Amino acid sequence: MFMRNKSISSFQSYNLWMMEEFDTFYLCVIFAPIVLGFLLFYLSQNNKQIQRNLYILSWNILFLFLLLSVVFAGGETYYRFFVDRTQGFGGYKLSERWGQRHYTFNNVQIRDNLNYSSQKEPTKNNRVSFVGDSFTEGLGIKNVDDRFANIIRKKYPEWEIHCLARRGRDTHTELRFLEFCKKNRYQFDFVVLCYCLNDIDYLVPEMKLMEEEANKKIQEAGYFERSSYFINTWIHAIMPEQSGYVKNYYTYLQQAYSNAIWKTQTDSLKALSQFVEKQGGQFLAVTFPFLNSPWKDYRFGFVHQEMDSLWKSEGIAHLDLLPLYRRYPAENLVVNSLDAHPNEFADSLAASSISTFLETHLKKNR
């Protein structure tokens, strides 16, 4: 796993996705107005050979299709080439294309612009490994150097910073990943769990049903939904409102922290910290709040208290980012209005707070 290889450069990735965007579907979309315009011109030039009523009907139909094709070509071009954002839940072509544009993977298939080695670099004082999901990976942040892990790396060149994060991971898969790292002789030092409040969702039955529903819709998507950015974007913009699971996503998560699921999750979190410590590492925890709603409507304040109590009982140093983020409007902290992942500003705030947190505890444990 931890072997060096050559990553694809951002320039090469840019050229690759540009070439892929000019597929057969898009070429047909572009040529459709030209063909329809030619047919309309041909019909106009030969109107005397056609009955008047039939001519008027044919002309109107062709003109309508010409207008629709122009609008569709414009919309397809706009979403295909000019809209550059992530969006909501999975299944969006825009989000997939955004990743192709802005993600560069290193030798261990982690989003980063440098390779990782299994053993600590002898020239570095500390190794800090951030474990997390899309919040830690920097989903929605175009330049990887603008996410908090890379900002900390730049601020402390004497530290070796690894960002062991990938979108979609939960507490269970994070533990499995660390076990995989151990098998590959990864040297643990300071391991920081960057906890997102949906890391509990693997235990929530409704979340599994939501995932099955989403996968089924993706598999059943028709040709035009699979091929068109324009159609795919608008269909998926409507679909969440049609799905009870998606509409109640945050309600299900809130309930999970109030019933027996939370007890199971605490056991998993304890297992994660104990695993790191058994490997000779020092475990630390950081909790990110959700950023999907105004703070006056925030329903997860009690969860932050539960997280803090858990880590205190385990003797684990814990940083809660909720008090920091609450100083700013939530809408100023997200990558866009359709995606509530932390933006560059939010990550810069996190980097500053986490840096101070690390400074304190790295010195304390040396």
Write the DSSP string, 115-162.
---SSPPTT-SEEEEEEESHHHHTTT-SSGGGSHHHHHHHH-TTEEEE
pLDDT at 245 over 70: no
At residue 253 the predicted structure's pLDDT band, cuts being 50, 70 and 90, is very high
In this prediction, residue 9 has a pLDDT band, given cuts at 50, 70 and 90, of very low
pLDDT at residue number 216 = 78
- Average confidence score pLDDT of the chain: 89
Which residues, 6 or more positions from 249, have their beta carbon under 8 angstroms from its beta carbon? 207, 210
Are the C-beta atoms of 166 and 180 separated by less than 8 Å?
no
Q: Looking at the predicted structure, is the pLDDT value of residue 187 above 70?
A: yes
Question: Residues 6 or more apart from 115 whose CB is under 8 A from it?
Answer: 4, 5, 7, 106, 107, 108
Provide, rounded to the nearest whole percent, the portion of the chain with pLDDT above 90: 69
Give yes or no for residue 17 having a pLDDT over 70: no
Distance, in Å, from the CA atom of 218 to the CA atom of 237, rounded to the nearest integer, reads: 14
Inter-axis angle of helices 171-183 and 260-278, nearest 10: 20
Please indicate whether residue 332 or residue 206 has the higher confidence score (pLDDT).
332
Instruction: Evaluate if residue 121 carries a pLDDT over 90.
Output: yes
Query: Rounded to an integer, what distance in angstroms lies between the CA atom of residue 303 and that of residue 133?
Result: 18
State what percent of residues in the chain have pLDDT above 70. 89
Instruction: Kindly report which listed range (15-19, 256-260, 311-315) carries the lowest average pLDDT score.
Output: 15-19
Q: Which of 16-25, 268-277, 326-335 has the lowest mean pLDDT?
A: 16-25
Name the band, by pLDDT with cuts 50, 70 and 90, for residue 1.
very low
- Check residue 310 and give its pLDDT: 98
Amino acid at 87: Q
Within 13 Å, how many C-alpha atoms sit on residue 155's CB side? 16
- Report whether pLDDT(12) > 90: no
At 291 the three-state DSSP class reads coil
Distance CA(124)–CA(171), nearest Å, equals 29
DSSP state of 113: S
Question: At 4, phi and psi to the nearest 5?
Answer: -85, 140
Query: Looking at the predicted structure, is the pLDDT value of residue 244 above 80?
Result: no
Nearest to 178 by CA among 268, 256, 307: 268
Query: pLDDT band for position 341 (50/70/90)?
Result: very high
